[in-house]
Structure 1
């Protein structure tokens, strides 16, 4: 059995809770044992919100196991319905409570008889899908529910809005820079003369979901959440979908041209070429920066990219195509989206890596020794251990990924943020070198373990002192070469003699 000490994507119920709590006045009830109810803590720590609807846990304990959960779950649903008066209550089990194999749909049907609001069971397979897949599925389920409800009541609006309009689908709580991206997308749509019909799920009311078919098109900025709902709307109402992530100068322009094509096909007469040129030349500093001497100094430098499908693919293209940086390998933990990812990035990098194993990712980084990493918070930790700078470009999220300042990754302002991130990720690694030159001090603690989880090499005091004398900008490489030398010879401790022997073996 392998210990799961890091997960890039959480369990399915986290995805369901992210969608439910993104809507206004929707209450989620989690059928779970004590210990699975950490969502409220996680959200209150990370999201910069003044208030939000907390999730209620219907705790599975020994009494529930003895008598069954039905009465307790039904009581919790009806109690919350009376107390909070939500528009919708979503019930979700967790992986642990799913083991009980209870008929939760029956619980929901019973509770619906007494509840004034709507009650729904999150219909996701908790054993087969992760957080992102469950979020996508839950959003589809809620959209379908309210479209069908409006149909039955005969109040589903007909026809499109008078002016071109868009639904922005997939903005959710705990998403990577989602709030800032949403602001930037709204600004972009306004500049293009396009009204925003609905943004879902973040900040939306379930009562407004019946208005979704009125939009001229749907924009899905992230592949992870929103594609299923957009596909449903396209199938049911013929609403075209734009799923090009406007990240980077080239892809933002491609996204806008796709929108232009869709609008003109529906009778509009728009030409966004002048707008694209104006934004590229004067609003986005990335195009200018790519021709500057600073960016040219980065040309050919090695980088690796890892993250979710959307951000990892977009970042790979930006580095290789717009900045001339050599992407040694690019990877994603979205194994279910592997084919799309390979198709998107294969021509921009030497190797494609699809994996959920953070140990494998860490070893792959150590193997190629890039000048910079662009990944998740896990890769940032790996970079610290290897003395390689890392720019965080994708979830999993950390408090650092919820800045108070405005930092979108999408649109033309996003191109500026990304250019800064790339440049700073490469150049800040020189600080150790400058400290050495100008007699500064280096307080970095030397790591005694290799990057792999099974590394058991230690450094004795003399070897550690010698390692600390080496300038910081090459120390990581010396350390890794020495440890490789020791492992190849079956040694489990690094001494001065081992260091000198390793140095001689490479002719240094």
Structure 2
């Protein structure tokens, strides 16, 4: 646990609540003080939910601190059981309430004696794991609980479905385009003649979990959430696991070939090569577009990539091997899975950065001075300050990245969405310059595009006027180079003469 005004992955209880609220007929009780109860507002705003978020906060206040939490927590659980009639109630503390060192498992056991629904305590270490790790663990815990429960009652059916079928694990609320991706995956599986047996947790009910062993294989499109549950099912019931995210033309084809191999190993005898060829040539416009003159103009341009493991690794590969764009560095904030990320991007970028420190990423972007950024909402903020366009490819995100329209990133339709994002991110960087040339708006005064709010250098009016003559799309770079030169040479004020000297020094 650490204090910061920005975190790429939130605290553990956010991950647990994301999973719990993704299910239907599941309610979450959050044991937390005021200030930790922002999940409901965040989810209803970003997802534009029509219904109330199924999360109740059991507030830790001065009365609780004086008298203890047990009665209040148990009362909240039993009350929601009576009011909502859920199948499951998940109790989760937050980092703050965990300081109280209360025996919440005992609270759960007491409440279970009075409720008709199941009650679970989220079994995660709120001090040691972040939002994504907690979500992965919570989903695995729920899957394990209901598979074991079905086995004890004799309701577990392990016989495979007559036709090939798949479990899709890991699509949750507040995920980056997760609902659109799930819709696209359902369509893709249907085109391949594969029935979707169960998709967890988004839109599912806990009683569907008992059907998991009936599928022919598990598909986990996002590395961050779903792997632990899929691995448990694989260990207990022998279901093969496909973890290649079908993001981009080449990765989508690779994922389909892995599915083909899994089915053929079970005696199905399918051949998807003709399907891959048709989809690549006629459905995915990205394959054609990457060879067009428009895309050729992007060849060799510099970009940086940062995000969660799944999206950052896939975008790095797409830029480098499908669009010919030079990835200066690629990075992820998923530090617990760093080895996998390095393996995935090896050979596709010059440098790999693994960190959850947003200031380090901001400095790395400023130093690289790429033509475009592909990252999270934080990198978009950095890009605005540096006058570098940014395409958002990963959570954390802003409400604008929860589109009402259909915008998947997976499958063959996803390849088109990604190609548009990449192309527009680069070309839109010229807009300010073109508007200035053609008089679309008043020429801006000097734009400060540094990551620091203050500066130790002054600019004379003449130098500021000279800087304004520089085209907008490179003005930030010229300003940074000039200030760097001035500091190195010990000039406290930047004059026109210093600007020219800096220009000569860098050979511009």
TM-score of Structure 1 vs Structure 2, range by shorter chain: over 0.9
Q: C-alpha distance in 2, partners of 1:79/1:460?
A: 68
Assess if the C-alpha contact under 8 Å between 2:168 and 2:219 holds in 1. Answer: yes
Query: 1:442: how far off?
Result: 4.7
Q: Show the 5 A alignment for 1:463-478.
A: 463-478=463-478
Residue 502 to residue 31, structure 1, CA distance change in 2 (3 Å): same
What secondary structure sits across from 1:291 in the alignment? coil
Task: Report the counterpart of residue 13 of structure 2 in structure 1.
Answer: 13
Cα–Cα, structure 1 residues 208 and 2, in superposed 2: closer, same or farther, change >3 Å?
A: closer
Partner SS, residue 198 of structure 1: strand
Instruction: Look up the match of 1:146.
Output: 146
Shift of 1:439: 2.8
Q: In the superposition, relative to structure 1, how do residues 52 and 162 fare at CA in structure 2: closer, same or farther (>3 Å)?
A: farther
Q: Deviations over 1:443-483 (max 9, x none)?
A: 65755462157866565766544433321021011111122
What is the TM-score of this pair, normalised by structure 1?
A: 0.96
Supply the distance in 2 between the matched residues of 1:220 and 1:444 (Cα, whole angstroms). 48
Q: Say if 1:331 and 1:355, in contact at 8 Å, map to a contact too.
A: yes
Relative distance call for 1:433 and 1:449 in structure 2 (3 A) is closer
Look up the SS of the partner of 1:90 in the other structure. Answer: strand
Mapped to 2, the partners of 1:270 and 1:114 lie a distance apart of: 52
Query: Structure 1 residues 51, 3: CA separation in 2 closer, same or farther (over 3 Å shift)?
Result: closer
Q: How does 1:485-504 map to 2 (within 5 A)?
A: 485-488=485-488, 499=499, 502-503=502-503
1:382 is aligned to 2:382: yes
Q: Secondary structure at the match of 1:348?
A: coil
When residues 458 and 275 of structure 1 are mapped into structure 2, their CA distance, relative to the original with a 3 A threshold, is: farther
CA contact (8 A) 1:11 1:130 kept: yes
Match of 1:27 in 2: 27
- Cα distance between partner residues in 2 of 1:310 and 1:227: 12
2:346 match: secondary structure: helix
- Give the match for residue 128 of structure 1: 128
Verify the 8 A CA contact 2:164 2:215 in the aligned structure 1. yes
State the distance in 1 between where 2:260 and 2:91 align: 41
Distance 2:33 2:445 in 1: 40
Secondary structure at the aligned position of 1:114 is classed as coil
**Shift of residue 428 of structure 1?**
1.0
TM-score normalised according to structure 2 size: 0.96
Q: Trace 1:108-507 onto structure 2 (pairs within 5 A).
A: 108-442=108-442, 446-448=446-448, 450-452=450-452, 463-488=463-488, 499=499, 502-503=502-503, 505-506=505-506
Distance in 2 between the 1:172 and 1:458 partners? 50
Question: Any unmatched runs of 5+ in structure 2?
Answer: none
Q: Deviations over 1:422-453 (max 9, x none)?
A: 11111111112212322332565755462157
Matched-pair contact (CA < 8 Å) for 2:77–2:89: yes
Q: Secondary structure at the residue paired with 1:352? A: strand
Q: 1:70 to 1:401 in 2, by over 3 A?
A: same
Aligned to 2:45: 45
Partner of 2:100: 100
CA distance in 1 between partners of 2:398 and 2:378 (Å): 10
Give ranges in structure 1 of 5+ residues lacking alignment: none
Give me the whole-angstrom Cα distance separating, in 2, the residues matched to 1:492 and 1:52.
Answer: 58
Q: Would you say the 8 A contact 1:359–1:452 is kept in 2?
A: no
Give the count of matched residue pairs: 508
Counterparts in 2 of 1:318 and 1:440: CA distance versus 1, 3 Å: same
Indicate how the Cα distance of structure 1 residues 491 and 214 shifts in structure 2: closer, same or farther if over 3 A, else same.
farther
Q: In structure 1, how many angstroms separate the alpha carbons of the residues matched to 2:28 and 2:443?
A: 47
